[in-house]
Amino acid sequence: MLFFSLCLILLGGGIVGFLCRKIRLPALIGYLIVGIVLGYFSLIDASIAGISAELRKIALIVILLKAGLSLNLEDLKKVGRPAVLLCFVPACFEMCAVGLLGPSFLGLTYTESFLLGAVLGAVSPAVVVPRMVKMIEEKRGTEKAIPQMIVAGSSCDDIVMIVFYSSFLTIEGGNDLSAMTFLNVPISVVTGVGVGIGIGFLFSFLFEKVHMRDSIKLSLVLGVCFGLVFLESYLSQWFGFSSLLAVIAIGIVILSQRSVQAKRLAVKCDRVWAVAEIFLFVLVGASIKIQYALDVLGWASLLIVIALAIRVGGVYLSLTKTPLTFKERTFVAIAYTPKATVQAAIGGGLLDLGNSIGNPAIIAAGTTVLSVSVVSILLTAPLGAAAIDLAGPRLVSVSPRESAKESR
């Protein structure tokens, strides 16, 4: 049954994902649909379902490492204040909106609602980054660094939301609110970034002095990243440590020190991600209880729409007093709407916690959080991707300098 399940996951996900691309939808929608079907007919082997949380964490590590290897800090410096604000203001606006409205809309506690807000607050690099890379290649909006700003800001807002998510999950797990609970957030950031920077410099030195194949380099980096996840679980009893922040910091440092190596490793990550993405979204879809998702569909959709409207307000606020036109600011707001990767990776975290400690209340809340996460993916990923593709050429123009070069 194990190998039959693997066959269905890879074949079904690959074929349906390919068909989705043909009709210009994100492949992840196809993966999710395949997972929902396989889960409904109980075609996922129990041994795979039992390690679903670990497989989702592996996929998240791969995509965060890829983000770090692609995130040039010079892009943030070039744009300045707006890029920094886009890293956290829109996401925090959305998180607070969901956190305050969640108890009324979904019957969650405030802690569970803010945890859901942290899950929903992250924009999807799987949907956004490839489209921004295409804009950079077309030189569309590059004179004002619009696509670079979106890539940098969206990557950082994922990190901010993951830190908040980890904090709320810790509180929900039974730890009392205390000064240390809140201090663990900056402690997690500082220790995670510090360890990541140190390891990144070590890898940069190693890659300079020792010749090895890129696949071996990626194996070493991923091995260390998995070790950091274990280290986080070990250190959590004393102080906060964000392994995910460390992962992205490793990628950023390697890019800053060994840019050629970083780009080649990013290509390798893309190949690993091609398979990891299928497992990630298929397993998320398989874990959904269809009837419950339908039960919360109406309120969840309304909550998502309201939160997105408030998020858009955060984007416009972040872009005040910038040279961007109203059309360009509108495009940035559109680009900040798709949800997918992070929601799939961490949406089931509260449910996993409830199952691990056998708490029915947390299991029920976790089911709600996961269901709303999937609703957000189904609503915003295809619509957001289509909106970016349609709005890009209409709202953002090609750099005048590039147009002049082409006219010659």
Element (H, E) at 331: helix 326-335
Whether residue 395 is predicted with pLDDT greater than 90 in this model: the reply is yes
pLDDT digit string (tens) for 30-79?
Answer: 888 898 899 888 888 888 877 777 887 788 788 778 878 877 777 667 77
107 lies in a domain?
yes
392 lies in a domain?
yes
What is the predicted pLDDT for the residue at 245?
80
Please, which pLDDT band fits residue 341 given cuts at 50, 70 and 90? confident
What is the predicted pLDDT for the residue at 407?
45
CATH label of the domain that carries residue 319: 1.20.1530.20
Average pLDDT over residues 74-85: 75
Q: What are phi and psi of 127, to 5 degrees?
A: -90, -40
180 lies in a domain?
yes
10 lies in a domain?
no
Contacts of 164 (CB under 8 A, 6+ apart): 95, 114, 118, 121, 185
Is 150 exposed, middle or buried, given 0-12, 13-18 or 19+ CB atoms closer than 10 A? Answer: buried
What is the predicted pLDDT for the residue at 138?
84
pLDDT digit string (tens) for 220-235?
Answer: 999 999 999 888 878 7
What is the predicted pLDDT for the residue at 242?
78
Average pLDDT over residues 6-17: 92
405 lies in a domain?
no
What is the predicted pLDDT for the residue at 346?
84
Average pLDDT over residues 261-281: 86
Bridge partners of 398, per DSSP, are: 140
Find the domain containing 349 and state its range.
52-396
d(CA 163, CA 331): 27
Contact (Cβ atoms closer than 8 angstroms) between residue 153 and residue 178: no
d(CA 190, CA 28): 33
162 lies in a domain?
yes
402 lies in a domain?
no
User: Which amino acid is it at 45?
Assistant: D
The residue among 220, 185, 225 whose CA lies nearest residue 205 is 220
Please, which pLDDT band fits residue 147 given cuts at 50, 70 and 90? confident
d(CA 22, CA 195): 42
> DSSP 3-state assignment of 399?
coil
What is the predicted pLDDT for the residue at 202?
95
Average pLDDT over residues 381-386: 86
HSE, side-chain direction, 13 A CA sphere, residue 312: 16
Quick one: tokens of 231?
Answer: 């280290």
Domain count, the chain: 1
The residue among 331, 340, 317, 307 whose CA lies nearest residue 84 is 317
b/e sequence 90-103, b meaning 16+ C-beta within 10 Å? bbbbbbbbbbebbe
143-152, 218-227, 367-376: which has the minimum mean pLDDT? 143-152
HSE, side-chain direction, 13 A CA sphere, residue 156: 24
How many helices (H) and strands (E) in the chain?
21, 0
CA dist 143 → 82, 133, 147, 158 (Å): 15, 14, 10, 25
Whether residue 127 is predicted with pLDDT greater than 60 in this model: the reply is yes
> DSSP 3-state assignment of 329?
helix
404 lies in a domain?
no
What is the predicted pLDDT for the residue at 87?
84
> DSSP 3-state assignment of 140?
strand
pLDDT digit string (tens) for 174-205?
Answer: 655 555 656 766 787 788 889 999 999 999 99
- CA torsion, ordered 277, 283, 289, 290, to nearest 10 deg: 50
Bridge partners of 140, per DSSP, are: 398
Contacts of 43 (CB under 8 A, 6+ apart): 4, 5, 8
- Rg for the chain, CA atoms, rounded: 21
- The pTM of the full predicted model, rounded to 2 decimals, is 0.76
Element (H, E) at 268: helix 259-286
Residues in the chain: 408
**Beta-strand runs (E) in 159-318:** none
Contacts of 321 (CB under 8 A, 6+ apart): none
What is the predicted pLDDT for the residue at 197?
94
- Measured from the Cβ of residue 363, the count of other Cβ atoms closer than 10 Å reads 18
> DSSP 3-state assignment of 242?
coil
